[in-house]
């Protein structure tokens, strides 16, 4: 298989396989979770579930105050990398071309220079968080292979994307193949690893708030 054939494969059947595994995994896992249901709570409710649930979703998405310097570092680095990843994914012109082609939806792109800076900040934040994970004894103890796998699968598309954009190493065709493959690996891994949190984070926050609300705890 020559380079052109490889590029055709990753842009065509490779992407179809990745999309199929991703969609199948997400639908099956999310729907299975919903259909599992919740055990009937026999205790009389002391408050509503919806209000506290939604409030918790909102509160836990805000920057908290009163943290230690280390706490702020984790929080800010976490925000930078999550938002940076989303901005890079959703506002680079070439990515919008892809989404328009696959979903029929498109929107204006941000200037590529701004995306490059965002991607560099995202990568820097991810590296800082990895160093922290290695150096902090508690963090290291509670980390398993999935945390490192998720980190690697997330940073690879960013690294290969910035190298493709800036023409660093390999030629455009080779780097485009590497970039698309890293994205496909990420897509395949999302439903079956901790990366599934991109879909469960907010429902989990709602559930935490709803439990408190049911017990009458103010949140």
Residue 169 makes contact with other proteins by CB under 8 A:
no
Return the H-helix or E-strand segment holding 163: helix 145-166
Q: Judging by beta carbons within 10 Å of its beta carbon (0-12, 13-18, 19+), is residue 64 exposed, middle or buried?
A: exposed
User: Shortest gap between Cβ of 155 and other proteins (angstroms)?
Assistant: 20
Q: How far from the centroid of its chain's Cα atoms is residue 9's Cα? A: 25
- Here's the x/- map for other proteins, 15-44, by CB under 8 A: it reads as xx--xxxxxxxxxxxxxx--xx--------
Report the site for other proteins in 65-124 (rule: CB under 8 A): 93-95, 97-98, 100-103, 109, 111-113
What single-letter DSSP state applies at residue 211?
A: H
Q: What is the dihedral of CA 193, 50, 208, 150, to 10 degrees?
A: 20
User: Cα separation of 137 and 135, whole Å?
Assistant: 6
Nearer to other proteins, 111 or 216 (CB): 111
Site residues (vs other proteins, CB under 8 A): 2, 4-5, 7-8, 11-13, 15-16, 19-32, 35-36, 93-95, 97-98, 100-103, 109, 111-113, 171-173, 176
């Amino acid at each position: 298989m020559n380079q052109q054939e490889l590029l055709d494969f990753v842009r065509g059947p490779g992407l179809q396989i990745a999309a199929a595994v991703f969609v199948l995994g997400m639908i099956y896992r999310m729907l299975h979770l919903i259909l599992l249901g919740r055990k009937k709570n026999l205790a009389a409710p002391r408050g509503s579930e919806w209000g506290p649930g939604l409030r918790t979703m909102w509160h836990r998405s805000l920057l908290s105050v009163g943290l230690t310097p280390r706490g702020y570092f984790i929080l800010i680095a976490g925000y930078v990398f999550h938002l940076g990843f989303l901005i890079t994914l959703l506002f680079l012109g070439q990515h919008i071309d892809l989404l328009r082609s696959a979903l029929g939806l498109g929107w204006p792109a941000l200037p590529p220079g701004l995306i490059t800076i965002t991607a560099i900040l995202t990568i820097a934040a991810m590296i800082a968080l990895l160093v922290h994970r290695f150096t902090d004894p508690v963090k290291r103890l509670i980390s398993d292979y999935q945390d490192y796998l998720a980190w690697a699968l997330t940073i690879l598309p960013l690294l290969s994307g910035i190298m493709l954009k800036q023409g660093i190493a390999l030629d455009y065709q080779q780097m485009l193949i590497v970039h698309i493959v890293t994205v496909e690996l990420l897509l395949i891994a999302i439903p079956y690893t901790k990366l599934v949190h991109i879909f469960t984070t907010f429902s989990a926050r709602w559930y935490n708030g709803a439990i408190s609300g049911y017990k009458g705890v103010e949140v």
